[in-house]
Amino acid sequence: MALKRIHKEIADIKKEDLGGMTIEPTDNLFLWNASIPGQEGSPYEGGLFRLEIHLPHDYPCVATVSTIQKLLTFRYGLPDFQLPRSSS
């Protein structure tokens, strides 16, 4: 069931206008990479958030897990800034 749904998600994403966002599966269909640009007018403007999205093998019955990998550059000039890991 999961692979059928993932293939449907891929087809749907190809039809969408994502603006500056990107999302695509890796060679492993249960692991996706995404990027989201920083919001205009915020300190993150010009930055790019990279995310890793893990789809469980019983997707969509179980929620995905997303992790921000890093923020690449932003307005205050700290390239390749590493976001702190959550302690929770």
The parent domain of residue 20 ranges over 2-72
Please, which pLDDT band fits residue 87 given cuts at 50, 70 and 90?
Answer: low
Would residue 25 count as lying in a domain?
Answer: yes
Q: Which residues contact 62 (CB under 8 A, 6 or more apart)?
A: 56
Please count the structural domains in the chain: 1
Would residue 82 count as lying in a domain?
Answer: no
Would residue 83 count as lying in a domain?
Answer: no
Would residue 85 count as lying in a domain?
Answer: no
The CATH number given to whatever domain includes residue 27 is 3.10.110.10
Would residue 80 count as lying in a domain?
Answer: no
Would residue 59 count as lying in a domain?
Answer: yes
Would residue 77 count as lying in a domain?
Answer: no
- The residue assigned the tokens 């990279």 is 50
Q: What is the pLDDT of residues 34-72, one digit of tens each?
A: 999 988 888 788 888 889 999 999 999 988 888 887 766
Would residue 55 count as lying in a domain?
Answer: yes
Q: Which H helix or E strand runs over 51?
A: strand 48-54
pLDDT at 79 over 90: no
Helix (H, G, I), strand (E, B) or coil at 73: coil
pLDDT at 13 over 60: yes
